[in-house]
């Protein structure tokens, strides 16, 4: 029963994957001049941001990836990952 409940929860990792997909589509659209690809990519990115915000609100900081997540966020420019990583970082 609990696993069914988890499947309905927004996923932070899923949101990031969707954002990357959207950014890729948008870039392809820009390079090829395809408005359909650009529009689809922008819609996917907007949905991904909403998903990540919802997942972040329901997230237990102790369940994060800590320093790894923080560093990955810095490398990709994702402020949310930096914040979430810092919140879940274990004391050294």
Question: pLDDT tens digit string along 35-89?
Answer: 999 999 999 999 998 988 888 777 776 666 677 878 877 887 778 778 877 877 7
Whole-model pTM over 0.85: no
The domain locations on the chain are 1-58, 61-92
Residues 77, 83, 89: CA angle, nearest 5 degrees: 115
Distance CA 26, CA 23 (A): 5
> What is the rounded CA–CA span in Å between residue 87 and residue 37?
36
Cα-Cα end-to-end distance for the chain: 36
| pLDDT tens-digit map of 11-43 | 777 888 898 899 999 999 999 999 999 999 999
């Amino acid at each position: 029963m609990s696993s069914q409940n988890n499947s309905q929860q927004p996923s932070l990792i899923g949101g990031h994957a969707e954002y990357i997909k959207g950014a890729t589509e948008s870039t392809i659209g820009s390079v090829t001049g395809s408005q359909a690809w650009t529009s689809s990519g922008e819609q996917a990115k907007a949905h991904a941001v909403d998903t990540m915000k919802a997942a972040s609100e329901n997230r237990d900081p102790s369940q994060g990836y800590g320093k790894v997540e923080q560093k990955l966020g810095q490398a990709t420019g994702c402020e949310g990952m930096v914040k979430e990583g810092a919140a879940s970082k274990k004391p050294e």
